[in-house]
């Protein structure tokens, strides 16, 4: 996950991870001083550890000392201090200079940034009812706070003066870019609007902040509430003994002793569908997943989402854009909605055609086994494994014994980073953590110097948002003298006590992917917090992480970590060969499911306010949007349905296309590595120096061309996905 703000680089970054990437005010909050907005909070006490930087190495958070009740007071004081700092900058009687305006803003708001970063990271990884209430209360206040800054006329006048005269300031390239980015962000926030328009923008921002927080909380609560409860072990036939034991333990934890509970993951398709032999159970499981947030009840997101879409469209219109996608894409590498539409439309027909070919193979397998039913979405994963076994003589379950989680992390992910970049890792058990499952590693550069910390939070739990993501507790900055503290979060089901954690191949790939984001943060070498680490366009941020996936199947790396958890024997070469031979298998399904979600995202965000459907028409709108885009294939539902599509209510609004957009760069980069000898320090050092270390300090495509030496070639992607 990623994002940024021109005032506190970590604030929007943290908010994006919880679906609140555009903080903004309620109707009455905007005109009030920040301190007055939180009169209900308790007094700030000297014992609050958030009030000062952590004394631990690299400002590593004092997880063991920070309590739920510390957040609201710290937010209150942080906003008050920040506004005071901003007012001092804005009202400075001296002429605006780069140092007394731009650098001063970069240094401002440290308490607020520290509090927001900590709060939103923790509320995403290990929330509770108290934190949910804090989130609901603070979201509109943060929105009002940001509007007080972005819409401060005196402050903007100083920024504009520097922007207009930037060529004569004698700035280095990174500093000049910072001035340009500040100016653009102020304008995008409404600094050039009339006073009447500013008032309406503030109202919209406040409503959006609350709605986005509500949506995010509903998604997590609904995924827990919608877990499938079954009465008998027979209904779970096909699952491993460990999986059935885990389902029984989950039922016991929910006071349902004697029953079994299959918890849901964030995506539409659920892992258990590949193994369950009972078709009725498969149908119930997938329907429980697909109906999340749209079947009425306390956590229904239909009204929330349609209201968000309408408000975003109105806000875009006020800012002079035809729709929200246009306003959002202006500062991405894609630049325009038309470019995104063209890319998605260019891939969709081939993807759907491939998916239909795959469906025909699955239907043939059903018929061969005597089945007299038509392939449905809940059958896809189950019969895919049968076809995979028939075509390639192996199924996914054969791989899991070779993918023990600690082996994957230490002898796979870390080993690859050592071979490529020379960095090493040492576990630090002396540092506090926010949950017993979290592991902490100190990272050392090739010369032995300490670079920062990496936290690995691998297991799923009911207090954790779905999916997988990276965030920063501390971001690197030369100006601030900080080194990175980076975390990866996954949602791997935790096995029964005493059992090994055996991963699916998708989970292995995801682990490598998220560590690619971590490397982007760890290798950051920029001056200003604004540009640190993953503070790049969202259709570029997935690129380095996708590149890192290549090492999961690189022979030298795979040989080092893919070892049987009981015998220690390496994965047989014959099985490896089958993995590689089947690499394009089921790509039609996977690409279509992804594209359907990306196209839904664009459909919602290319609407005018009056075109947004009523809540009760949401599913009808979704179906029509998929049909219009040519991806309405019932056997392949979207990777996310609208009502639990957290990405597009958070930091990836109008931006879910970013994965396929970034994959063009990724696939071309993989070809570069192959052309230049693959896994080597020389190649890793080049990638790090020209791209991974630059953060957002240079234009994203300029950075890519500095690394690659030319424009990206889409053919590598088409070949990878079997679309050419």
State the Cα–Cα distance between residues 489 and 463, nearest whole angstrom.
Answer: 13
List, in sequence order, every residue forming a beta bridge with 502; answer none if it has no partner.
404
Q: Using an 8 Å Cβ cutoff, are 538 and 598 in contact?
A: no
Task: Give the number of C-alpha atoms closer than 13 A to the C-alpha of residue 592, restricted to the C-beta side.
Answer: 27
DSSP states along 158-169: HHHHHHHTGGGS
Please state, as a whole number, how many other Cβ atoms lie within 10 Å of the Cβ of residue 714: 18
Contacts of 630 (CB under 8 A, 6+ apart): 348, 349, 352
Q: Using an 8 Å Cβ cutoff, are 273 and 216 in contact?
A: no
State the Cα–Cα distance between residues 625 and 645, nearest whole angstrom.
Answer: 15
List, in sequence order, every residue forming a beta bridge with 424; answer none if it has no partner.
444
Q: Using an 8 Å Cβ cutoff, are 238 and 468 in contact?
A: no
As a whole number of Å, the CA-based R_g of the chain is 25
Q: Please tell me whether residue 283 adopts helix, strand or coil conformation.
A: helix
Sign of CA dihedral 545, 547, 549, 555: negative
Q: Is 62 a catalytic site residue?
A: no
List, in sequence order, every residue forming a beta bridge with 472; answer none if it has no partner.
486
Sign of CA dihedral 122, 124, 130, 134: positive
Sign of CA dihedral 413, 660, 637, 375: negative
State the Cα–Cα distance between residues 113 and 421, nearest whole angstrom.
Answer: 31
H-type helices in 393-493, by residue range? 405-406, 415-421
Q: Using an 8 Å Cβ cutoff, are 526 and 643 in contact?
A: no
State the Cα–Cα distance between residues 385 and 289, nearest whole angstrom.
Answer: 21
Distances (CA, A) of 89 to 4, 115, 154, 182, 598: 21, 22, 9, 14, 42
List, in sequence order, every residue forming a beta bridge with 486; answer none if it has no partner.
454, 472
Q: Please tell me whether residue 458 adopts helix, strand or coil conformation.
A: strand
Contacts of 493 (CB under 8 A, 6+ apart): 243, 246, 263, 271, 459, 460
DSSP category for residue 414: I
Q: Using an 8 Å Cβ cutoff, are 485 and 452 in contact?
A: yes
State the Cα–Cα distance between residues 85 and 581, nearest whole angstrom.
Answer: 60
The gap from C-alpha 344 to its chain's centroid, in whole angstroms, comes to 20
DSSP category for residue 706: H
**Strands of 439-444's sheet, edge to edge?**
424-427, 439-444, 450-459, 485-492, 469-474
* Cα dihedral value 193, 199, 202, 207, nearest 10: -130
State the Cα–Cα distance between residues 148 and 154, nearest whole angstrom.
Answer: 11
Distances (CA, A) of 356 to 2, 273, 359, 631: 35, 20, 5, 11
Catalytic residue (one of 85, 507, 514, 663): 514
Please state, as a whole number, how many other Cβ atoms lie within 10 Å of the Cβ of residue 461: 14
Q: Using an 8 Å Cβ cutoff, are 527 and 478 in contact?
A: yes
* Cα dihedral value 395, 401, 407, 408, nearest 10: 20
Contacts of 538 (CB under 8 A, 6+ apart): 2, 3, 332, 651, 652, 655, 658
- List, by residue number, the catalytic residues: 514
């Amino acid at each position: 996950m990623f994002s940024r703000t021109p005032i506190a680089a970590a604030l929007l970054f943290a908010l994006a991870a919880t679906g609140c990437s555009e903080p903004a005010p309620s109707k009455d909050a905007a005109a009030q001083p920040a301190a007055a907005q939180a009169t209900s909070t308790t007094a700030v006490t000297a014992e609050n550890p958030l009030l000062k930087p952590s004394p631990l190495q690299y400002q590593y958070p004092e997880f063991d000392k920070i309590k739920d009740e510390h957040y609201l007071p710290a937010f209150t004081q942080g906003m008050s201090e920040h506004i005071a700092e901003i007012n001092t900058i804005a009202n400075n009687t001296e002429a605006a200079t780069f140092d007394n305006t731009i650098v001063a803003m970069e240094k401002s708001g440290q308490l607020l940034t520290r509090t927001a970063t900590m709060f939103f990271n923790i509320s995403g990884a290990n929330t509770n009812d108290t934190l949910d209430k804090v989130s609901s209360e603070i979201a509109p206040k943060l929105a009002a706070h940001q509007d007080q800054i972005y819409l401060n006329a005196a402050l903007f006048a100083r920024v504009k003066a520097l922007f207009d005269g930037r060529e004569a300031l004698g700035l280095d390239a990174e500093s000049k870019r910072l001035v340009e980015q500040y100016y653009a962000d102020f304008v995008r926030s409404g600094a050039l609007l009339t006073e009447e328009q500013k008032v309406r923008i503030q109202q919209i921002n406040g409503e959006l902040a609350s709605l986005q927080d509500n949506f995010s909380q509903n998604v997590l609560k609904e995924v827990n509430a919608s877990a499938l409860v079954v009465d008998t072990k027979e209904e779970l036939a096909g699952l491993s003994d460990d999986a059935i034991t885990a389902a029984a333990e989950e039922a016991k934890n929910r006071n349902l002793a004697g029953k079994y509970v299959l918890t849901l993951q964030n995506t539409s398709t659920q892992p258990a569908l590949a193994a369950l032999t009972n078709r009725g159970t498969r149908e119930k499981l997938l329907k429980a997943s697909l109906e999340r947030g749209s079947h009425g009840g306390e956590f229904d997101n239909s009204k929330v989402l349609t209201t968000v879409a309408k408000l975003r469209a109105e806000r875009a219109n006020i800012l002079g854009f035809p729709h929200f996608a246009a306003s959002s894409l202006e500062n991405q590498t894609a630049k325009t909605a038309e470019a995104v539409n063209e890319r998605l439309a260019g891939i969709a027909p081939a993807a759907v055609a491939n998916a239909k070919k795959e469906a025909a193979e699955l239907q043939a397998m059903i018929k061969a086994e005597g089945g007299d039913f038509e392939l449905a979405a809940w059958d896809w994963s189950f019969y895919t494994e049968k076809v995979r076994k028939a075509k390639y003589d192996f199924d996914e379950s054969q791989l899991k014994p070779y993918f023990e989680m600690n082996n994957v992390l230490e002898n796979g992910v870390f080993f690859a980073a050592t071979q490529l970049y020379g960095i090493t890792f040492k576990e630090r058990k002396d540092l506090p953590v926010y949950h017993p499952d979290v592991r902490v590693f100190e990272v050392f550069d090739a010369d032995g110097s300490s670079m920062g910390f990496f936290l690995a939070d691998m297991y799923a739990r009911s207090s954790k948002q779905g999916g997988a993501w990276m965030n920063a507790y501390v971001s690197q900055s030369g100006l601030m003298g900080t080194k990175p503290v980076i975390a990866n979060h996954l949602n791997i089901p935790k096995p029964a006590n005493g059992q090994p954690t055996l991963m699916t191949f998708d989970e292995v790939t995801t682990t490598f992917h998220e560590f690619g984001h971590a490397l982007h943060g760890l290798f950051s070498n920029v001056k200003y917090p604004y540009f640190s680490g993953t503070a790049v366009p969202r259709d570029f941020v997935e690129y380095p992480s996708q590149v890192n996936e290549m090492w999961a199947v690189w022979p030298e790396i795979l040989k080092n970590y893919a070892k049987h958890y009981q015998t220690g024997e390496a994965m047989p070469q014959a099985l490896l060969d089958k993995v590689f031979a089947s690499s394009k298998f089921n790509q039609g399904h996977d690409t279509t499911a992804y594209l359907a979600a990306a196209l839904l995202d664009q459909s919602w965000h290319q609407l005018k306010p009056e075109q947004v459907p009523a809540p009760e028409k949401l599913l009808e709108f979704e179906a029509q949007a998929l049909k219009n885009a040519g991806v309405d294939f019932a056997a392949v539902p979207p990777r996310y349905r609208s009502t639990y599509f957290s990405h597009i209510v958070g930091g990836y609004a109008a931006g879910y296309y970013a994965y396929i957009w970034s994959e063009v760069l990724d696939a071309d980069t993989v070809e570069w590595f192959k052309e230049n000898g693959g896994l080597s320090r020389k190649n890793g050092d080049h990638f790090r120096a020209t791209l991974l270390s630059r953060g957002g300090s240079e234009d994203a495509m300029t950075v890519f061309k500095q690394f690659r030496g030319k424009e990206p070639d889409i053919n590598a992607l088409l070949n990878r996905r079997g679309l050419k």
